[in-house]
Amino acid sequence: MRVFIGEDQGLLRDTLAQALNARGVEVAGTAGSLPDILDRVADVRPDVCLLDIRMPPTGTDEGLRAAEWIRAHHPGIGILVLSQHAETAYAVRLLEVEDEARGLGYLLKERVADLTVLIDAIERVARGEVVVDPVLVSRLLARRRASDALSRLTERERDVLALIAEGRSNAYVARHLHCSGKTVEKYAASVYSKLGLAVEDPITRAEMNTRVLAVLAYLRHST
């Protein structure tokens, strides 16, 4: 697996590259600004781009702009964005970079300190999964509103949706909640129905898109 790192802090960029290489993840290239990322990614063609949200020249949303450009020009490249803060609007924007969002992730920058967690997220994004940091999910779950669409969900359905929002598979959800896969499928189908989303066969690509739509609904209605 080949990874490209977009990070403006030179020390962090180099340290991260060395650590990933040491763990068997090939760092195919690095850059420290939006123009450099756009210039180099086309030549490197990595499996996953690891992007800091705030980089030169403006230090605002360059990572997201890079993600949008990469997905438009090289849709096969996975994108994992790192942020210092759990910013819901940025997470929603990332997942909306295209209609059929796949291979996308939003992770808090503190995860860099735990290479096992970071590499797991990189590998999941490379497989086409959607990853949302658990801290962001848990904070949103705590901010309930009686009037929002999520109020129609039962407590167990909320638990299932929270794990789906992290990018977890049905098998993982079943293990975590100590129930059967069939039970998780029933809860997920109920969640999709209550959120007004079509339910598709779980082994098809369309089902993955339904899961992403559920995540978007979760993020939107929890802000």
Q: Give the pLDDT score at 212.
A: 62
Nearest to 200 by CA among 218, 212, 183: 212
Fold of the domain spanning 2-132:
Rossmann fold (3.40.50)
Q: Say if domain 137-221 classifies as CATH 3.40.50.150.
A: no
Q: Give the pLDDT score at 50.
A: 97
pLDDT above 90: residue 33: yes
Which tokens belong to 217?
């609904």
Q: What is the pLDDT of residues 122-139, one digit of tens each?
A: 999 999 888 888 877 766
Q: What is the pLDDT of residues 199-223, one digit of tens each?
A: 444 444 445 456 666 666 666 555 5
Break the chain into its structural domains and give their ranges: 2-132, 137-221
CA 23 to chain centre: 22
pLDDT above 50: residue 52: yes
Q: In what order do the strands lie in the sheet with 130-132?
A: 26-31, 2-6, 48-52, 78-83, 104-108, 130-132
pTM: 0.69
